[in-house]
Structure 1
Amino acid sequence: MIQNDKRSGGIQLKVDIQDAGLGKKIIRIEIPPEDVNAEFEKAYEEVRKNIDVPGFRKGRAPKNILRLRFGEYIKNEVIEKLVPPAYEKAIEDSKLDIVGSPDIYPPIEQSIFSTNAELQDDLDKEEIPEILKQEFQKNNITISDKAVISVTIAGKKWILIDGRKRYIISKNNGATFVQLDELLAKENEPLIFEISVDVKPPIEIPDYSLLEIDKSDVNVTEDDVKEYIESLREQSAIYDPIEDRPAQEGDSAVFNYRITYEDKTKYSQSDISIDIGKADEDIKFKEIHQALIGMKPGEEKDITFTLPEDFSDPEFAGKEVSFHIELKGIYKKQLPELNDDFAKEKGSENLEQFTAKTWNELVEIRRREKRENQEAELMSQLIEKTQIDVPESLIESRVEKLTESAKDQTFTDEEINTFRDFSAKMIKREWIINEIIERENITVDDEELEMEIQRMAISRGKDPQKYKSQLEATNRINELKNSMLREKVFNFLIEKASVKKGLIV
């Protein structure tokens, strides 16, 4: 617990910071009565000057009349003037590395009532216990049937909303407390409120030499180049329609399909294109290839087969399904000749130059892939070797962002857990990278930034100054700088990491 008296804009604040569990702090702030009274006086004077009160000359209405008629407005004005600068100052002076948004609420001693009844099981199910309604009734508050409850922290904190009223329900030292979710400002009394914040935990980066990666250069063989060139020929293929015979091995087929399981359509797709493989080839969904052989455009066929165990949807993996095929067309694929003309179409003078150029391109592609694998491996090891507890509220906030673009879609618990794991991993990644940047004093200076902008502009065939202006107009300069910082971090880690055992470099 940390206690301090801090001054905010001439106001002497009493600040108390307490641990509140994993990655959480509670900052309790008390603004003394004399400062509360001073703000009330300003609010009274402002209302007195600007609002006509019947029966009184403008600027002459007494305080008791203003309090009676505009009390709620004046109270809110006092809170609005005092609270934001007070909590901003308290957070700034706390030196805590706060993540996410702070949660401001009244202190627990301002509770309407408390009870020792066991309520948390029902509350965690987002159900309002009958005994809780009875406690409200004892305090002359009726909870309507439209009231809803939501979990803020399972087993500890909940929010009950009934119309325009919000109540905070919290468990503390075995008792359950209920309070209005609004701050109270009264004349001649201190204004007390609490801030719940998530705090970034200290991060201990392991010895970089404990990280192990493959540092060998890529090896591009002649066969690799031939295979890559063949894929380029495939991309330039011409498809001639076949109308005088049924489909056979080697043809390209375009078809619609529908998968039915237990008499219900589960998947359907149109205009699927595949090259019909040979019966002895190791191809996936061989039954479909075999079914297409002998079909003519316009024909339909139903087959039954068992989906593989590694099918993308685990619900149907290994299940027997009905597969309806509607063949739309068959085509003969014509590959371009591999000669100087093909090379010229790809921007080279002749086939020899094209082959050499392709080899260089493939080396660069493999090196980029290698770099991506190194970065992924390094980060996986860092996350594994670094103990980081990410606050739940931060994970939930990330999950909300991931799912908000698909509001009409319902996600399974398994999918939500996948989002949670991904969010936690991304937060850890960001924190680790930032910690290394700070620890190793990694920077990107203006000259480096300018050179990278020029390089990017030239590679895109654009004027560097105009390209820079575009980046500035779309607020992407910082994004670029952060990308360069991340690249420097991984350059540093690759240099410091050990060579993976068992590999010869």
Structure 2
Amino acid sequence: METNVVHKTDWLLAIEGKVEPDEVRKEREKLLRRFTRGVKLPGFRPGKAPVSMVAARYAEDVKAELVEEFASRAYREALEDKRIRPLSQGRLTHWNFIEQDELRFEVEAEVMPEIEVRGYRKLKLEPVTKPSGDELVERHLETMRERSARFEPVDRETREGDYVRCDYSVYRDGKKQDKQTGVLVKIGDRENLPQINAALVGKKVHEIAEAVVRYPDDAGELAGREATFKFFIHEIKERRLPELSDEFAKETGFETLQAMRSKLASDATEEAERIMQERREDQIFAQLLELHPFDPPPSLVEERIRYLLVRLRIPDTPEARQEVEPKAAEHVKLDIIIETIAEKEKISVSDEELEAWFAERAERMGIPLPQAQAIWRREVAMNEARRRKIIDFLLQQAAEGGLIVYPDSH
């Protein structure tokens, strides 16, 4: 059997196979003997039917298994010989028998891109601005107010940002298809269809809002169809934030508003350093992406899209996926670039460094070290610690506001 490995894209590998007629016939004979032992044909005892009859009866099954055998063998051998890291199972894309039983086939597999990292010892860091401690304190106070917001009934027409408690029905082709009662809807929420948000504005309690919508082209069996939504409004609520006061501070666990501000100011110092570190890392990441243009594997991008949607608490919709996909692709590419640099620089994590990583996590979370070690599996912790070490290595190669060029730069 002859095989040829072809990279169709950065992440798509094709294994082309060619099997000579003699080899095909030998393998077919082996398969037929195996089939014969396991089948029972009318008039013959199990395993005693003539091979010629078995070949005629199970011709397509034998052919399919024959192709599968050669394709699987070619796939395994290619992975071993070329030291390929597959991200998916091999997929037989096409096959055919040509003159005199010669078999030709192709197997595709998604693989980890092989990139040549360069320029990572010449990265440039511009000075970063330290965030204002006062601004961070005010931002945290506003976040705490948002979390303590109250929903209070109002007697007026609805506005964008209001919440309405309502019943709604959905009609398609003149028939009621769905009905929900006691639903709380935020007017202007991006999860709502635009027509629904528009219809709910300017209504009063006990009025009906009606919206006619056309489902988008990616809505499956509903694509292109129209539906009418009818909302009966029971109650209008306005979201109100609490005033900053000693009373509010006590509700959140502080004696006074001043005590709350003092604690937030103390935390802001550490947060400012973290933000500056993130801004430096963002500079490094942007340069690495520019230096290494390649297409990331779709399966890894899909996995990261799902992760981001869950982390950001965004519903899994086509619009949301389109929004987060560029960031997901960047994350995957950075992971591949950083891992490749680590392999090239032979960066690893010692047991002492791993223990230090656990200790730092325990201190940050205010928990005992054994508890931190129980939260993170050792393998996960090792990967996190290694990634941190690689990023620190890259930051060390750059200088604030300048350019470091090493004699052995890549």
**TM bucket by the smaller chain?**
0.5 to 0.7
User: Which of the residues 105, 118, 130 maps onto 1:193?
Assistant: 105
Paired position in structure 2 for 1:434:
339
User: Which of the residues 39, 42, 46 maps onto 1:58?
Assistant: 46
Task: Provide the rounded CA distance (Å) in 1 between the counterparts of 2:301 and 2:344.
Answer: 26
SS in 2 for 1:52: coil
Paired position in structure 1 for 2:408:
none
Seen in structure 2, the aligned counterparts of structure 1 residues 329 and 89 have a Cα distance that, compared at 3 Å, is closer
List alignment gaps of at least 5 residues for structure 1: 1-12, 106-180, 247-252, 271-287, 292-296, 301-325
Which amino acid counterpart does residue 398 of structure 1 have in structure 2?
Answer: V
Which amino acid counterpart does residue 439 of structure 1 have in structure 2?
Answer: K
1:83 aligns with 2:13: no
* TM-score normalised per structure 2: 0.62
Task: Provide the rounded CA distance (Å) in 2 between the counterparts of 1:331 and 1:39.
Answer: 77
Paired position in structure 1 for 2:275:
369
Shift of 1:465: 4.4
Task: Provide the rounded CA distance (Å) in 1 between the counterparts of 2:372 and 2:59.
Answer: 57
Shift of 1:182: 4.7
The farther-off stretch of 29-38 and 396-405 is 396-405
Seen in structure 2, the aligned counterparts of structure 1 residues 66 and 492 have a Cα distance that, compared at 3 Å, is same
Which amino acid counterpart does residue 69 of structure 1 have in structure 2?
Answer: R
Seen in structure 2, the aligned counterparts of structure 1 residues 74 and 453 have a Cα distance that, compared at 3 Å, is same
Listed one character per residue, the Cα deviations across residues 188-240 of structure 1 (whole Å, up to 9, x for unaligned) are 73433223456625333215334223267x4655x558746865885798989
* TM-score normalised per structure 1: 0.52
Paired position in structure 1 for 2:246:
337
| Superposition pairs of residues 105-144 of structure 1, within 5 angstroms | 105=93
Preserved CA contact (<8 Å) 1:390 1:427: no
Paired position in structure 1 for 2:180:
none
Shift of 1:65: 0.6
RMSD: 5.0
Paired position in structure 2 for 1:205:
118
Shift of 1:445: 2.9
Task: Provide the rounded CA distance (Å) in 2 between the counterparts of 1:83 and 1:184.
Answer: 13
Paired position in structure 1 for 2:56:
68
Which amino acid counterpart does residue 53 of structure 2 have in structure 1?
Answer: I
Task: Provide the rounded CA distance (Å) in 1 between the counterparts of 2:4 and 2:153.
Answer: 82
Q: Percent identity?
A: 20
List alignment gaps of at least 5 residues for structure 2: 165-185, 189-193, 208-234, 403-410
Say which one has the larger Rg: 1
Seen in structure 2, the aligned counterparts of structure 1 residues 399 and 229 have a Cα distance that, compared at 3 Å, is closer
User: Which of the residues 160, 178, 197 maps onto 1:267?
Assistant: 197
Number of positions where the alignment pairs a residue of Structure 1 with one of Structure 2 = 339
Task: Provide the rounded CA distance (Å) in 1 between the counterparts of 2:140 and 2:316.
Answer: 44
Shift of 1:438: 1.4
Task: Provide the rounded CA distance (Å) in 2 between the counterparts of 1:87 and 1:233.
Answer: 56
| Superposition pairs of residues 348-427 of structure 1, within 5 angstroms | 357-384=263-290, 386-390=291-295, 394-395=297-298, 398=301, 402=305, 409=317, 411=319, 416=322, 421-427=326-332
Seen in structure 2, the aligned counterparts of structure 1 residues 72 and 428 have a Cα distance that, compared at 3 Å, is same
Task: Provide the rounded CA distance (Å) in 2 between the counterparts of 1:426 and 1:34.
Answer: 49
Q: Which has the higher helix share?
A: 2
Paired position in structure 2 for 1:214:
127
SS in 1 for 2:337: helix
Which amino acid counterpart does residue 245 of structure 2 have in structure 1?
Answer: P
Seen in structure 2, the aligned counterparts of structure 1 residues 408 and 471 have a Cα distance that, compared at 3 Å, is closer
The farther-off stretch of 328-337 and 375-384 is 328-337
Seen in structure 2, the aligned counterparts of structure 1 residues 97 and 336 have a Cα distance that, compared at 3 Å, is same
